[in-house]
Amino acid sequence: MSAAADRTGASPGEVQLAVAGVSKHFGGVRAVEDVSIAVRQGEILSVIGPNGAGKTTLLNMISGFFHPGTGSITLEGRNITHAPPSRVAALGIARTFQNIALFSGMTVLDNVMLGRHVHMKAGVLASFVYWGWARREEIAHRARAEEVLEFLQLQDIRKQPTGALAYGLRKRVELARALALEPKILLLDEPMAGMNQEEKQDVARYILDANRLWGTTIILIEHDMAVVMDISDRVAVFERGRKIADGSPDGVQRDPAVIHAYLGTARTLREAAE
C-alpha cells in the first residue's frame, strides 16, 4: 500500500469524498441545487464558475460550516453531512478562505502551529505545566510545523507577526496552516486571488508539490483559467448553483455550455485567459 493510502485510508484513484444530491437554500436564494461530485483520492479538482455560482457554498458544506438542506456528504464511507467543522477537521479536511483568516498579532510559526491542534492530545493541565509527554508532543508538532514552513519557503519569516507581512505572504501562511493539519483533503478557496503572476506561479507549484509528495487530494476554487487548466486533473463547472459540466480540463474548456456561461462566444476559456 502506498504512503498516501496509509494516511488517507483510500487507495489512489478510489472515491474518497462523495457529494450526493446536495442543495442549500438561503431564503429564496438557491445557492446550490442538487449537486453531486465524486472526488477521487490524490486528484486535483478545480471548481469554477461565475461569481455567485455556489462554489464557496459547496466548500462550506464539505467543511461543515453549512449543512445541506438535502443530500449527503461522505468521506471514505463515513457520513459527515451534519458534522461540525471541528469534527470535519479532525477527520482530515482542511481549508483556506477567500478572505485571509489569520491571527495578525501572532507569529507565522504560531499561526501554523494552530493547524496542529486537532492532533494534540495533551490535557489542559499537562500542557499548562509543560511536563512529560506534553512537552514531547509540543516538540513533535513544532517539528512538523517547521517542515511545512520550509516546504513553503517561509522559514526566514517564521518569527515575524503575520499582520506585518505582505498580502501574498499572508496567503502563503494560511496555506501553511492548512497543510500543517496533514489533511487528507485540502479545500482551497481562491488561494491566488490578489496575487501577481510570479506569486501565482509559486502557489501553483506548492499545490502540485503537496499533491505529488504527500498524496493530498485538493479541491480548488480559482478564477485564473490558465492556472486551472494547467494544474487540474478534473474541472467541475457551476452556474447559478448547478453543476453544468464535469470532466478533463481540455474537454470542459470546449464544452459549449461552459463557453456560453463564461463568455457567450466560441472562444475557449484558455484563449480568454491569455
Per-residue pLDDT at 102: 80
Measured between alpha carbons, how far is residue 161 from residues 22, 114, 199 in Å?
40, 14, 20
Q: pLDDT digit string (tens) for 63-110?
A: 999 999 999 999 999 999 999 999 999 999 999 887 677 878 889 998
Identify the DSSP state of 140: H
| CB 162, CB 102: distance < 8 Å | yes
- The structural architecture, per CATH, of the domain 3-31+41-92+183-273 is 3-Layer(aba) Sandwich (3.40)
Q: pLDDT digit string (tens) for 233-259?
A: 999 999 999 999 999 999 998 888 888
Whole-prediction pTM? 0.84
| pLDDT, mean over the chain | 86
Least confident range of 41-50, 130-139, 149-158: 130-139
- Domain positions in the chain: 3-31+41-92+183-273
Which residue in 65, 61, 64, 76 sits closest to 21, CA to CA?
Answer: 61
Torsion angles phi and psi, residue 185, rounded to 5:
-130, 130
44 pairs with which residues across the strands?
Answer: 218
In angstroms, the CA 238 to CA 32 distance is: 9
Residue with cell 461565475: 50
Identify the DSSP state of 10: S
